[in-house]
Every structure is written in C-alpha cells, then in structure tokens.
Amino acid sequence: MNNSDIIIDSECDTEYDPLFENFIYLGTASYLILGLFLHIRILWTILIKERSYFKDNSFFILFAADSIASVSLILNDLLFTRVFMYIPQLCPIVSPFFWTPSIILKVIYFLNNHARLAKSVAQIFMVLNRMSCVIIPAVYNKIWSTLTPIACVLVVILPFGGLWNILISRIFVLSVRGGFGTSYIRAVSWASLSMFQSIYIITALIFTFVCTSITLYKLILLPGRIKSAEKSLCFTSITISVTFLLVAVTQVTFATCLSCRSDALYIIQFMAFDTFTVGSAVIMVLTNQHIRSSIFSSSRKRKIINVTVTAMPSGRFSNTS
C-alpha cells in the first residue's frame, strides 16, 4: 500500500498539564505578536509609506524580503503550529482530520519550511551587502542596484532546492507534548529535510562568519570611510547575525546528533528561530532611528491655522484667523 493511502493516527499525550501548556502558548504568542506588529510596520514603512526614501537602499529591500519570510513564519506559528502544540484540548478534536492525506497540511508544512530556508538565503545576501559596503563603497550602490532584484528572486526560488521531496512525500501529524506537530514520510529516502536545512544554514553560517568578520575589521580599521547611516546598518546586520548563530547551532545538533532528538530539542529549535525571526525586527527598530521614528510617529497631521496680523491706526495690533 502506498504511503499516501494509509491512515496514520496520532495518540494525544494526556500526561501534560493542559493549563500549563496554555500558559506556554500565551507567553509565546505575546512576543510573536510583537514581532508580527514590528515586521508589518517595517514592511509598511519600507515598501509603502516611505518607499521613495528606501527604494534605492539595497539593504532595506533585502531586509524587507527577509521580513516577509518572518511574517509567514510568525503567522504559521500563531495560527497553526503553536496552537495545536500548546493547546492540548484541541488535539483529540482536530488531529483526526489529518490522519488521512491532507493538502492543507502539506501546504502549511511547505510554506513554513520555505520561509525558514528563505531566511537563510536572505541572510547570505544581507551580510554580503554589508561587506561590499565597507570594501567597495565607491561602486557599492551601482553593483547592488543590479544585484538586489536578482537577490530577491533567489530568496523565493532557492528554497525549492531543499523542499522538492516534501512536495512528493506524505505529510502527517505526530504527538508533540500534549498536542501535535507535523512530520513527513520521505518519498526519496536520502533527501531528508534536516539535511537540506543543514546545508542551507551551514552555507549561510560560513557566509555570515566570513562577511561579518571582514565588515567588523574594516569598520575598526577605517571608521571614517563609511557613512554613519551605513555604519548603523552594518551593526544591525552584525547583531542579526548573532541571532542566526543560535539557529545554526540547534539545527546542526538536530541533524547530526540522533540521540539528542527529543521534545526538548524540538522546542529549543522553535525558540532559536523565534529569536532570529522576532529578533531581526526588534534589532532593526532599536538600531535604526529613521525606521523607529517612522513606525512610532503619529500619522495625524497637525492642524495649521493661518493668522493675519494688521496694524491699527492707534498703534495696536489685531489678528484674524
């Protein structure tokens, strides 16, 4: 019998305290909602509100591409993944719907992993962007005016190289804590998702280490050569790279240490990606004054009152508004 034809049922684990799990969801949702708000406001600022200001800044366009992937991840976690993981009361009601093959489950699983790989690709281009800014500032804008559209397309396309096996594999639900999570039965046995994720993340990690080291070296060696605004973006990129290291460590551990795989590591992976996903928006807001003022400035325009002052024969003044 084909994997796509069989029923894969999942027993809901009743050993976990439902209320405690619910509190975990509320705590997780609180910072995910903050991250979602900041990412949406950043995207609104870069792509719509102040598009004329940001459209020629390649780093902000690349960050917007990364931010779109972050929004996708956060929405998936808020509305699906964390809901059914940390609200055990829903498990016996919802999980039976996914015991048989489900196109909805496959789409959600695919989009979630596409966003994860897309962030690794975007990370590569962002650190390359900052390195080239400090190495070749004279031609930096000219080079990236051509590279930026290509980079944005690659952020969308390249993740498919690690996800093709998911498209032809059976996606199913399995018990995670008191609720359930998603996994898959590989149609092509050697093409594991964890292997592809490790390849993408390790590649991004190598680029991050090399490019960030060169960027830091140049900033220290030639501090006056870089504009203050560009220098600020360099520190933004460096700080985001630190959060990416957490993702790299947990992913490599998951892929290489079979005995380490457990619910605990599964949760730690989520937390590491949360730091990377939410942290990038928080870091951008904290380190970039223009973005910060654009996000939190009042959208209401001040009322302007015209006052006309005329001299009276007595030497006094009168005004009309």
Task: Kindly report which listed range (24-28, 87-91, 257-261) carries the lowest average pLDDT score.
Answer: 257-261
pLDDT digits (tens, 9 = 90+) for 59-117: 999 999 999 999 999 999 999 999 999 999 999 999 999 999 999 999 999 999 999 99
Local confidence band at 301 (pLDDT 50, 70, 90 cut-offs): very low
Query: Does a structural domain hold residue 145?
Result: yes
Local confidence band at 228 (pLDDT 50, 70, 90 cut-offs): low
Query: Can you tell me the distance from the alpha carbon of 123 to that of 204, in angstroms, rounded to the nearest whole number?
Result: 7
**pLDDT at position 253, please?**
82
pLDDT digits (tens, 9 = 90+) for 174-190: 998 889 999 999 999 99
3-state SS string for 94-124? HHHHHCCCCHHHHHHHHHHHHHHHHHHHHHH
**pLDDT at position 66, please?**
96
**pLDDT at position 194, please?**
87
Query: Which of these, 216, 233, 218, 244, lies nearest to 286 by C-alpha position?
Result: 233
Query: Does a structural domain hold residue 100?
Result: yes
**pLDDT at position 300, please?**
46
Query: Which of these, 122, 2, 132, 146, lies nearest to 65 by C-alpha position?
Result: 122
- Average of per-residue pLDDT across 258-277: 81
pLDDT digits (tens, 9 = 90+) for 105-124: 999 999 999 999 999 999 99
pTM: 0.86
Of 253 and 308, the structure prediction assigns the larger pLDDT to 253
Query: Can you tell me the distance from the alpha carbon of 281 to that of 34, in angstroms, rounded to the nearest whole number?
Result: 9
**pLDDT at position 2, please?**
57
Query: Does a structural domain hold residue 7?
Result: no
Count structural domains, the chain: 1
The residue written with tokens 């005995």 in the block is 259
Query: Does a structural domain hold residue 25?
Result: yes
What is the extent of the structural domain holding 223?
18-320
Give the Cβ contact number of residue 298 at 10 Å. 6
Q: Which amino acid is at 221?
A: L
**pLDDT at position 63, please?**
95
Query: Does a structural domain hold residue 5?
Result: no
Query: Can you tell me the distance from the alpha carbon of 128 to that of 59, in angstroms, rounded to the nearest whole number?
Result: 10
Report whether pLDDT(227) > 70.
no
**pLDDT at position 32, please?**
96
Query: Does a structural domain hold residue 10?
Result: no
Report whether pLDDT(235) > 60.
yes
Query: Does a structural domain hold residue 257?
Result: yes
Domain with residue 299: its CATH number is 1.20.1070.10
Q: What is the mean pLDDT of the chain?
A: 86
What tokens appear for 303 in the block? Answer: 């009322």
